[in-house]
Chains A and B, each alone.
Chain A
Amino acid sequence: MINFAKIMLRTNMLQRIPIKSVLLLIVLLHLGNTLAAQDCNIKLKGQVLDESINEPLSNVSISIVGQPVSYTDSLGNFEINNLCKGHVHLFIFHIGCESKKVFMELKRDTFVTLKLDHHYHAIKNVVLKGDAHNDESIRSIGLNEILASSNKTLAEATATLPGVAILKTGNNVSKPIIDGFFGNRVQIVNDGVLLNSQQWGNDHAPEIDIAAAGEITVIKGAEMLSYPGNALGGIIAIKSKSIGQDPHLHGIANYFFDENGRGQTANVLLQKGGKKMGIKWVGTYKNFGDLKSPQYFLTNTAKREANTALQIEKQWSSKWQSHLNYSFYHAEIGILIGSHIGNLTDLQLAINSNKPFNTKDTFDRTINAPRQNVNHHFLTLSTNYFANTKNTYSITYNLQKNNRKEFDIRRGGRSSVASLSLEKWSNYLELKRNVQINPRVNADMGIQQTYELNRTDGNTGIIALIPNYAQYNAGAFICTNIRKNQSAFNIAGRIDFTNLTAFPITKTLPKVYAKQQKVFLNKSLGISHQQQLLRKWSVKSSLLYVERAPSVSELYSGGLHQGVSGIEEGNDALKPEKSIKAQTSIQKVMHHHWTFKTELFVQNVRNFIYLQPQQDFRLTIRGAFPVFDYQQTNALLGGANAMIVWENDKHWENSFKVSYINGRNLKSKEKLIYLPPASFTNNLTYRTLFNKKQNELSANLGFNYVLQQTGLTATQDLKAAPPSYFLANVGLNYQWKLSESELLLGIACSNLLNTVYRDYLNRQRYFADEQGRNVQVRVMVKF
């Protein structure tokens, strides 16, 4: 997506017009009316600054169709003469930056200040902004990275950020882990609204197509409390970019071929803006066959995905603005056939087998049982009212429908009948007000209501693990931003009322669905403080208290959970979790070349909910099964991430990351399971320009070293943690800038050495090796 800045021109002389845009700030200055603009005699002058350090950027190419290319000088200044009155597209290009297209209406000689986010590869927001959405605890990936990974899942795309890891069930199902938390404790916010699906299952991936995203950020500070869901770990927020006012049709077409799995991914984005209305459409199709580990095919790991998204923005008047977002996600996912096991004996056999059972010797695209079929509809209608310079109001309504079907290998021709089929509806209504109390204080406040309804399909022939339920949630929050000189405070609080009515099956005879009701009241509080010590030092700290009500799965699940080969029993006596988290991040920039960043956190969770394996196995006709009960304990987690980035002005960039996390169950004194093991990542990039600085070549070489997870006792897991492993990857991209478009060709190879390894956080590690070498070819056209 190209970022089109909004430009408003007024007739007043020497009028300064600030323009709001995420990555671009443009100030237009009227240079004097005396040079009454003749048709093709307009001068456009400007300066380009590095957004993060506010210093001029030299050698930025600025082009307008039909004009020779101009470059900024050492002071970041440029000048283009002999322009005609009317609409122009400015094409701004700089090595290592995301290219920008700016649409503007030229009426007279004009001066523009353009800010480019030059450090997007490294660490953002060195400069103190004090804005809730631009602070240090928010880390994000931008459009270029999103486009480059749009053949991957949301979790894989965000895992490049410090503190984020992935919990996988095979290669097709992955969910993000933030600071050691996942599932119900991490929320995904799409377009400002919580994704409401079945996130309780470790084998349930979030229903998000990242190709429609403009920016993906991880939120861990106090501003997290302006969203419902009481995320103990953090929030992953997906934002689509504003369409803007460019009245021309623009688009992006992106195609990937992955050799491993013979996968094809195609994305198309089309958009057309305007003063009154803008419209954008995104479509994605993915078709992957069986993946291959270095030594064998991972039979039945094929996948299909078809997604579409529509965004409409409408400017009713200068004060009124509405938008509509609709997206549909559809996925059919095969689950490794060798991981489908019955009782404990089967499990032991499957674990000890050196090749997964039923592995085929040939490549296959068909998806057989066990498989998942997921459909998710997401509709948002939102209206903003800019009442005056101080007050903005907004109403947001959202409707979601999630349909999840899981198919097992069944007898009697029932493999085509889902063994788990859930349909969930959710309704969301939000009223929000933003008020600028004074130039230093800004507050966001709102009320949010969610009503969700989950129904299980009565025709599966199996009692569903999750019962039918209805849940109503009402929440209110306030989030205040206070700026003072070189520091900023963010104080937030929220309160949530939850009323849950569920129909779980009784554990005693006769088995019936008995109505159960639960009411919870949760309070959360957070404070963040950011301080710029010296010019290039920045420190951000926050203290958060969050309460989370137990979810339906934790309270009432009952039955055999195939994915974990165990009988899971909910516990209706669970109390809300109460978490206190203290975190700090320190960042230092040295001579424009070196950036150091350290993040530390410690978190204590009272009433931490977890699955405790029981002493006795339960004997059923299918053999013995381990029984897991939901229980509560107190848990303590702590971790550190460090990052060192070195940049050479022109060509080289190297980033090195280390992350470590540990957690303990304070009652049993055991280490918590599924914590990411310590890891080291290094990525070296070389960039250079060709052909009058119009074309860019970039090459990168990356290493990833993951240590073996330690400290777990033998009874905690089915199989000991896999040994440490080392992976290498390379990539080469060449980007052509044509008169009105861009073309990118890329080739990349992951797991270059075809390493045989297993990852601790992949639940398929009990049965199979990870994916082997993959060569990927990519073509992208932007116009």
Chain B
Amino acid sequence: MKLFNHSFALVCCLFILLVSACKNEKPTVENEEETITTVQLKFTPVGGGQSIDFKYQDVDGNGANPPIYTTDLLDSNTNYTVQVTLLNEASNPVENITDEVQSEGVDHQFFYMLQPTSIATFQYNDKDDNGDAIGISTLCQTKGKSEGKLKVILRHKPNKKAMEVSVGDITNAGGETDIEVEFDFKIK
């Protein structure tokens, strides 16, 4: 029985030691560096003039406060160059994510989808290292006065060689969605 008592005491000590060694500390909130909080579309008329900004902003991320949308009216029958800017405004200083997407251009592609499709057209205006479109820069041509929706999707690791993907059809692209936001699209 003596041996039993000894080993019992030993095992208990071991247990207490390990339990007390594992103090649980309150963690600090991670810096979610991959987060994108803001999507900006800058519409600049090709012939010069006042540019128009579309903006989606959700600084606190998933849940909590809902996102804020800012849009403006576009002119009819006008050619615009459209430039995308992605920001992480939750981090300090604010991070520009566009550069990260640009440098991994072969793994990313933006898709611009209009509803109804007839109100304007989007055309890719940039190329990745393989000569495929990225869509950070596009050309937009508006038609007559109308109202609709513009959905902007950023796909990570899409199959850029799949059918119709190169002209902006997302159907066969696959990959994972990094961004999917929808703006009101109004032409005056």
- CB of B11 within 8 A of CB of A621, answer no
B181–A618 CB distance below 8 A: no
Give the distance to chain B from A417, nearest Cβ to Cβ, in Å.
9
Smallest CB–CB gap between B147 and chain A, Å? 21
Give the docked Cα–Cα distance between A391 and B61 (Å): 61
Name the residue of chain B whose CB is nearest to the CB of A452.
B22
Closest to A501 in B: B24
Report A-chain residues with C-beta under 8 Å of the C-beta of B67: 619-621
| B19 contacts chain A at the CB level, 8 A cutoff | yes
Q: How far is the CA of A343 from the CA of B31 in the complex (A)?
A: 23
Contact with A along B59-94 (1 / 0, CB 8 A): 011111111000000000000000000000000000
- Would you list which residues of chain A between 269 and 319 have a CB under 8 Å from chain B? 316
Which residues 135-169 of B have a CB within 8 angstroms of A? 153, 156-157, 159
Q: Is the CB of B63 within 8 A of A621?
A: no
Number of interface residues of A (CB under 8 A): 66
Which residues from chain A contact B8 at a C-beta distance below 8 Å? Answer: 395, 431
Question: Which B1-53 residues sit within 8 Å CB-CB of chain A?
Answer: 1, 3-4, 7-8, 11-12, 14-15, 18-19, 22, 24-34, 36-37, 39
Is A513 part of the contact surface with B, judged by Cβ < 8 Å? yes
Tell me if A381 and B19 are in contact (CB < 8 A). Answer: no
Given contacts A341-B176, A381-B11, A431-B8, contact A460 B30 (CB under 8 A): yes
Q: How far is the CA of A463 from the CA of B159 in the complex (A)?
A: 29
The CA-CA distance from A342 to B176 in the complex, in Å, is 5
| Contact status A395-B27, CB under 8 Å | no
Contacts of B157 in A (CB 8 A): 358, 409
Shortest B91–chain A CB gap in Å is 11
Cβ of A155 within 8 Å of any chain B Cβ, yes or no, is no
Interface assignment of B54: CB less than 8 Å from any CB of chain A: no
The complex places the Cα of A501 from the Cα of B97 at a distance, in Å, of 37
Residues of B within 8 A of A338 (CB): 174
Collect the chain B residues with CB atoms within 8 Å of residue A455's CB: 24
Taking the closest CB of chain B, its distance from the CB of A333, in whole angstroms, is: 19
* Pairwise interchain contact A513-B37, C-beta atoms closer than 8 A: no
Set of chain B residues within 8 Å of A395, measured between Cβ atoms? 4, 7-8, 11
CB-CB under 8 A from A414, the residues of chain B are 34
State the majority secondary structure of interface residues on B. Answer: loop
Which B residues lie within 8 Å of A346 (CB)? 175-177
By the criterion CB–CB under 8 Å, are B156 and A411 in contact? yes
- Cα A459 to Cα B14 in complex, Å, equals 31
Given B19, B159, B171, which contacts A358 in the complex, CB threshold below 8 Å? B159
Q: Please determine whether B27 and A456 come into contact, CB atoms closer than 8 angstroms.
A: yes
B179 contacts chain A at the CB level, 8 A cutoff? yes
Asked if A509 is at the interface of the complex by the 8 Å CB criterion, the answer is yes
The answer to whether B101 has its CB under 8 Å from any CB of chain A is yes
Is A453 in contact with chain B by the CB < 8 A criterion?
A: yes
Q: A341-B176, A412-B100, A469-B24 are in contact. Are A620 and B15 (CB under 8 A)?
A: no
Q: For the complex, give the distance between the alpha carbons of A780 and B28 in Å.
A: 53
Asked if B183 CB lies within 8 Å of chain A CBs, one says no
Bound-state CA distance A158–B62 (Å) is: 41
With contacts A343-B180, A358-B174 taken as known, whether A620 is within 8 angstroms of B24 at the C-beta atoms is: no
What is the interface residue range for chain B against chain A?
Answer: 35 or more
CB neighbours (8 Å) of A460 from chain B are: 30
B126 interface residue per 8 A CB criterion: no
A472 CB to nearest B CB, Å? 8
CB-based contact A621/B181 at 8 Å: yes
B177 in contact with A623 (CB, 8 Å) = yes
Q: In the assembled complex, which residues on chain B have CB atoms less than 8 Å from the CB atom of A511?
A: 29, 60-61, 64
Chain B: CB-nearest residue to A338? B174
The contact of B4 among A393, A429, A468, by CB within 8 Å, is A393
* Residue interface mask A613-630, B partner, CB < 8 A = 1: 000001111111000000
Bound form: Cα–Cα A207–B155 in Å: 35
Task: For residue A676, give the distance in angstroms from its CB to the closest CB of chain B.
Answer: 31
A507 at the interface (CB under 8 A from B): yes
Closest to A357 in B: B174
User: In the bound complex, what is the Cα–Cα distance between A456 and B64 (angstroms)?
Assistant: 23
Q: Is the beta-carbon distance between A357 and B159 smaller than 8 angstroms? A: yes
Residues of B contacting A429 in the complex (Cβ-Cβ under 8 angstroms): 11-12, 15
Q: In the bound complex, do residue B27 and residue A462 qualify as a contact, i.e. CB atoms below 8 Å apart?
A: no
| A328-347 CB contacts (< 8 Å) to partner B | 338, 340-343, 345-346
Determine whether the beta carbon of B178 is less than 8 Å from that of A342: yes
Nearest CB of chain B from residue A203's CB, rounded to whole Å? 17
Name the interface residues of A468-521: CB closer than 8 Å to any CB of B. Answer: 468-470, 472, 501, 503, 505, 507-509, 511-513, 515
Q: Are A461 and B33 in contact (CB under 8 A)?
A: yes
Alpha-carbon distance between A460 and B27 when the two chains are bound, in angstroms? 13
How far apart sit A346 and B175, CA to CA, in the bound complex (Å)? 8
Q: Do the beta carbons of A409 and B62 come within 8 Å of each other?
A: no
Q: Which of A411, A456, A462, A469: most chain B CB closer than 10 A? A: A411
Tell whether, in the assembled complex, residue A618 and residue B28 are in contact, meaning their CB atoms are under 8 Å apart: no
- Whole-angstrom CA separation of A560 from B61 in the bound complex: 12
Tell whether, in the assembled complex, residue B156 and residue A409 are in contact, meaning their CB atoms are under 8 Å apart: yes
User: Which residues of chain B have C-beta atoms less than 8 A from A358's C-beta?
Assistant: 157, 159, 174-175
CA distance A472 to B104 in the complex (A): 46
| Cβ of A193 to closest chain B Cβ, rounded Å | 13
Are A410 and B26 in touch, CB under 8 angstroms?
no
Give CA–CA (A338, B173) in the complex, Å: 12
In whole angstroms, what is the CA distance A361 to B32 when docked? 36
Compute how far the CA of A434 lies from the CA of B100 in the bound complex, rounded to whole angstroms: 65
A501 → chain B closest CB, angstroms: 6
Question: Contacting A383 at CB < 8 Å: which of B7, B15, B101, B178?
Answer: B7
Q: Which residue of B lies closest to A467 (CB)?
A: B27
In whole Å, how far is B84's beta carbon from the nearest beta carbon of chain A?
Answer: 13
- A345–B107 Cα gap in the complex (Å)? 19
| B28 (CB) vs chain A CBs: closest residue | A458
Interface string of A599-624 (1 = CB under 8 A from B): 00000000000000000001111111
Chain A contacts for B7, CB-based, 8 A: 383, 395
A621 touches B58 (CB 8 A): yes
The reply on A726 being an interface residue by CB < 8 A is no
Contact A515 B26 (CB under 8 A): yes
Give the one of B14, B30, B156 with max A CB within 10 A: B30
Within the complex, which residue of A431, A453, A503, A507 is in contact with B27, where a contact is CB–CB below 8 Å?
A503
A577 CB to nearest B CB, Å: 26
- Tell yes or no: A385 within 8 A of B by CB: yes
Q: Contact between B36 and A503 (Cβ–Cβ < 8 Å)?
A: no
- Can you name the residue of chain B whose Cβ is closest to the Cβ of A508? B64
A508 and B65 CA atoms in complex are apart in Å by 8
Question: In the complex the two chains form, is B31's CB within 8 Å of A461's CB?
Answer: yes
A451 at the interface (CB under 8 A from B): yes
Task: Sample 10 A-B pairs with CB under 8 A, ordered by A number.
Answer: A383-B7, A412-B33, A425-B22, A453-B24, A455-B24, A461-B32, A468-B27, A513-B27, A515-B26, A621-B179
Starting from the known contacts A429-B15, A461-B30, 6 additional A-B residue pairs (CB-CB under 8 Å) come to A353-B174, A399-B18, A461-B34, A462-B34, A507-B63, A515-B26
Leading 3 A-B pairs by shortest Cβ distance: A623-B180, A357-B174, A342-B177
Chain A residues engaging chain B, CB cutoff 8 angstroms: 316, 320, 338, 340-343, 345-346, 349-350, 353, 357-358, 381, 383, 385, 387, 393, 395, 397, 399, 409-412, 414, 425, 427, 429, 431, 449, 451, 453, 455-456, 458-463, 468-470, 472, 501, 503, 505, 507-509, 511-513, 515, 559-560, 567, 618-624
